[in-house]
């Protein structure tokens, strides 16, 4: 209601076209605003509960079900503070904990952002910038934005953070606007909303430099430094008085080890990541790349339109709240956490509706092309959001249903990390373990989880893997199961993998056969395990134990299976471990396990075959590192690591 009133529409009168006291244009604007809010609501509630909760949403539910004191303690060790989870706790108490009910909190928040953009567009761009209906273009764009719709349908804090930040920016505009005689309440409202945003997600703090630049710019341009700077400084002190104690308490939540190597956080790389999310939503649609240039041209056209109209204050304000948080965040991440995965485009979602404000100016008329270009860019992705199964969230619901239906009394289910979305759907009757326990961390040793499986005397082990290249890059658990049984099936639900193993109890650690081999001057191989027999058409497994001697480059390893005549019959070439644990990042003070799984050709004749191994530079392909076995040069720079007996499939 406040948003519509600030657009200048007469809310004190009845909203209908029969009211003769309203001008036709006012009637149209009222109808237009109601239509946009209704459109935004429909797009966000459509199929709201159809997708299951995914990993992060399960974490939100888990925290929201905690008592407040425990919630505060747990979130202090996380990368998101407590406010959203506390609000969700209250919300669940009022409306329930179905997927639909929990996601409604984000829906209402994002619809409020659409209403706020109606007010913001009218207040920020008033004047002869085009027809009055053009002020609703930012609200229209955000109503159909795939980024907005995607995160408005999640049980996460991002939509709420966007609402808090946009409200804070709108209140700041009302405070700095010279035509407002009583402005202090707006400054207080801006400070309170920004503090709430920061207590919902830490990345909201990057709006603070943007607001500071706006106030300083206003103060200098109006020669009223004392009038603007002093009250704003007091407001910032008030914000930080609520934030700093929490940051001190929760400092351990920022820099915990991810356990893997993250590519360098470059400023341009992170900005492009945000631009892709702005175009496509929370996913990478196939059409993203071709639209990036169009987005840049559309923004440039709108900036030129505002400059041509000499709306310098409006242009400065919008660019500040849209661009400065992006620059501040990407620079801070690059400087403070250059090799940590502490950035995601959704953390800065509040810059997106601010960017939409640029499109409220439609004079000259050529600038109308820009919002239409955005609509043309977004609509296919909005449709894909509802229809493309490759864009849907991980189907935890279906994964849990499959596990439950296939469950036997002798099964043990092992999750990689505690997948609370799976707990939400309830693995009824299952013996559930987690490796490692909790939300964070990586698996560095399989001994504890193997002992826990043994206490259950399991005959089958079902793994529920999510981002296993992150959580268990050495595949410690899977390779241990290779050595203690065999895989009898696997299903995938997007990122969720569900391999099932028949095992012999008790499980034992892998016994590596000692080997003394060295490749080049920096890489030693001191242990090998391979399955001595395999069936044609089935899996053949090899596990290597490397010992880096000094920092090395990123090499590839080949495993060749050779017949008695020296002919290569099948092979496996790959970068060791994964892209998140390349050789160049291996520590030199500990051995690393490197697993290989390859399918034996179905038509391979029965017989015994030699297994040889070598290392080469992928940049040159054929250049193998020199190989030594027991101190002697190996023929063809390839070391024999064992033999495998292949049996024909019966």
Position 416 scores a pLDDT of 87
Is the pLDDT at 7 greater than 50? The verdict is no
Token representation of residue 113: 């952002």
Is the pLDDT at 465 greater than 60? The verdict is yes
Position 415 scores a pLDDT of 93
Sheet strand arrangement including 639-647: 533-535, 639-647, 607-616, 556-562, 568-575
What are the residues whose beta carbons fall under 8 Å from the beta carbon of 596, sequence distance 6 or more? 541, 542, 543, 544, 557, 559, 572, 574
Is residue 181 helix, strand or coil? coil
Residue 259 binned pLDDT confidence (cut-offs 50, 70, 90): low
Residue 254 binned pLDDT confidence (cut-offs 50, 70, 90): low
Selecting from 3.40.190, 1.10.1740, 2.60.60, 3.40.50, what CATH number does the domain 396-503 have? 3.40.190
Lowest mean pLDDT among 14-18, 130-134, 633-637: 14-18
The model carries a pTM of 0.88
Cα distance between residue 185 and residue 392, in whole Å? 43
Calculate the alpha carbon distances from 574 to 241, 278, 577, 642 in Å: 52, 34, 8, 19
The predicted-structure confidence for 315-357, as pLDDT tens digits, reads as follows 888 889 999 999 999 999 999 888 888 889 999 999 999 999 8
Residue 20 binned pLDDT confidence (cut-offs 50, 70, 90): very low
Position 2 scores a pLDDT of 40
What are the residues whose beta carbons fall under 8 Å from the beta carbon of 501, sequence distance 6 or more? 460, 461, 462, 463, 481, 484, 485, 486, 487, 488
The predicted-structure confidence for 509-522, as pLDDT tens digits, reads as follows 999 999 999 999 88
Cα distance between residue 249 and residue 224, in whole Å? 38
Q: For 23-43, what is the mean pLDDT? A: 79
Q: For 236-256, what is the mean pLDDT? A: 86
Could you tell me which residue, 603 or 135, shows the higher pLDDT? 603
Q: For 265-291, what is the mean pLDDT? A: 76
- For the chain, the first-to-last Cα distance in angstroms comes to 74
Cα distance between residue 187 and residue 173, in whole Å? 9
Position 502 scores a pLDDT of 94
Is the pLDDT at 216 greater than 80? The verdict is yes
Residue 127 φ/ψ, nearest 5 degrees = 125, -170
Is the domain spanning 513-647 CATH 2.30.110.10? The answer is no
Domain range annotation of the chain: 2-253+262-387, 396-503, 513-647
Position 260 scores a pLDDT of 67
Position 9 scores a pLDDT of 39
Is the pLDDT at 441 greater than 50? The verdict is yes
Token representation of residue 521: 């001057």
Structure letter (DSSP) for residue 624: B
Cα distance between residue 390 and residue 625, in whole Å? 41
Is the pLDDT at 499 greater than 90? The verdict is yes
The predicted-structure confidence for 162-211, as pLDDT tens digits, reads as follows 999 999 999 999 998 866 555 889 999 999 999 999 999 999 999 999 99
In percent, how much of the chain has pLDDT > 90? 55
- Strand locations in 435-522 (E): 460-466, 485-493, 496-503, 513-519
The predicted-structure confidence for 293-308, as pLDDT tens digits, reads as follows 667 777 777 777 777 7
The predicted-structure confidence for 566-625, as pLDDT tens digits, reads as follows 999 999 988 877 777 778 878 887 888 999 999 999 999 999 999 999 999 888 766 899
* Whether the Cβ atoms of residue 190 and residue 235 lie closer than 8 Å to each other: yes
Residue 255 binned pLDDT confidence (cut-offs 50, 70, 90): low
Q: For 143-168, what is the mean pLDDT? A: 96
Could you tell me which residue, 102 or 443, shows the higher pLDDT? 102
């Amino acid at each position: 209601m406040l948003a519509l009133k600030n657009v200048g529409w007469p809310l004190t009168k009845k909203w209908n076209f029969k009211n003769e006291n309203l001008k036709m244009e006012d009637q149209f604007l009222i109808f237009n605003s109601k239509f946009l809010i209704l459109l935004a609501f429909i797009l966000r509630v459509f199929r709201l509960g159809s997708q299951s909760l995914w990993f992060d949403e399960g974490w939100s539910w888990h925290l929201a079900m905690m008592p407040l004191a425990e919630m505060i303690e747990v979130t202090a060790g996380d990368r998101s503070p407590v406010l959203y989870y506390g609000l969700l706790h209250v919300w669940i108490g009022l409306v329930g904990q179905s997927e639909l009910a929990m996601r409604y909190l984000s829906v209402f928040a994002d619809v409020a952002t659409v209403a706020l953009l109606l007010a913001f567009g009218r207040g920020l761009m008033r004047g002869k910038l085009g027809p009055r209906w053009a002020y609703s273009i930012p609200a229209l764009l955000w109503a159909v934005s795939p980024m907005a719709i995607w995160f408005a349908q999640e049980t996460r804090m991002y939509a709420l953070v966007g609402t808090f930040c946009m409200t804070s920016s709108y209140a700041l505009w009302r405070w700095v606007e010279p035509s407002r005689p009583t402005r202090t309440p707006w400054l207080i409202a801006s400070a309170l909303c920004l503090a709430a945003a920061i207590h919902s997600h830490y990345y909201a703090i990057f709006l603070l430099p943007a607001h500071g630049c706006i106030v300083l710019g206003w103060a200098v341009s109006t020669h009223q430094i004392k009038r603007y700077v002093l009250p704003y400084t007091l407001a910032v002190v008030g914000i930080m008085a609520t934030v700093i104690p929490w940051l001190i308490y929760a400092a351990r939540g920022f820099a915990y080890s991810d356990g893997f190597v993250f590519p360098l956080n470059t400023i341009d790389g992170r900005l492009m990541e945000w631009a892709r999310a702005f175009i496509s939503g929370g996913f990478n649609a196939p059409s993203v790349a071709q639209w990036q240039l169009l987005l840049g041209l559309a923004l440039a056209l709108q900036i030129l339109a505002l400059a041509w109209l000499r709306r310098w204050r409006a242009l400065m304000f919008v660019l500040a709240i849209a661009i400065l948080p992006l620059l501040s965040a990407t620079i801070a991440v690059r400087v403070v956490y250059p090799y940590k995965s502490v950035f995601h485009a959704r953390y800065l979602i509040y810059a997106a509706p601010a960017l939409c404000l640029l499109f409220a100016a439609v004079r000259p008329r050529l600038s109308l092309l820009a919002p239409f270009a955005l609509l043309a860019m977004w609509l296919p992705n909005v449709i894909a959001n509802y229809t493309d199964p490759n864009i849907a969230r991980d189907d935890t619901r279906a994964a849990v249903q499959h596990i439950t239906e296939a469950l036997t009394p002798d099964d043990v289910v092992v999750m990689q990390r505690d997948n609370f979305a799976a707990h939400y759907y309830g693995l009824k009757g299952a013996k559930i373990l987690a490796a490692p326990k909790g939300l964070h961390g990586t698996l560095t040793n399989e001994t504890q989880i193997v002992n826990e499986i043994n206490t259950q005397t399991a005959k089958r082990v079902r793994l529920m893997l999510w981002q296993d290249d992150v959580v268990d890059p050495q595949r410690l658990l899977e390779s241990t199961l290779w050595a203690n049984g065999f895989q009898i099936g696997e299903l995938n639900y997007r990122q969720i993998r569900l391999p099932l193993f028949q095992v012999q109890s008790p499980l034992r650690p892998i016994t590596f056969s000692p080997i003394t081999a060295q490749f080049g001057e920096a890489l030693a191989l001191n242990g090998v395990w391979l399955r001595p027999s395999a069936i044609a058409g089935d899996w053949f497994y090899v596990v290597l134990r490397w010992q880096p001697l000094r920092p090395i480059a990123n090499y590839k390893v080949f495993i060749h299976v050779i017949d008695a005549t020296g002919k290569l019959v099948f092979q496996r070439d790959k970068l060791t471990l994964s892209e998140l644990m390349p050789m160049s990042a291996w520590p030199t003070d500990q051995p690393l396990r490197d697993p290989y799984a390859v399918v034996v050709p179905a038509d391979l004749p029965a017989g015994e075959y030699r297994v040889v191994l070598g290392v080469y530079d992928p940049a040159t392909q054929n250049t193998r590192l020199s190989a030594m076995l027991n101190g002697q040069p190996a023929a063809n720079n390839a070391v024999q690591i064992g033999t495998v007996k292949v049996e024909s499939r019966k």
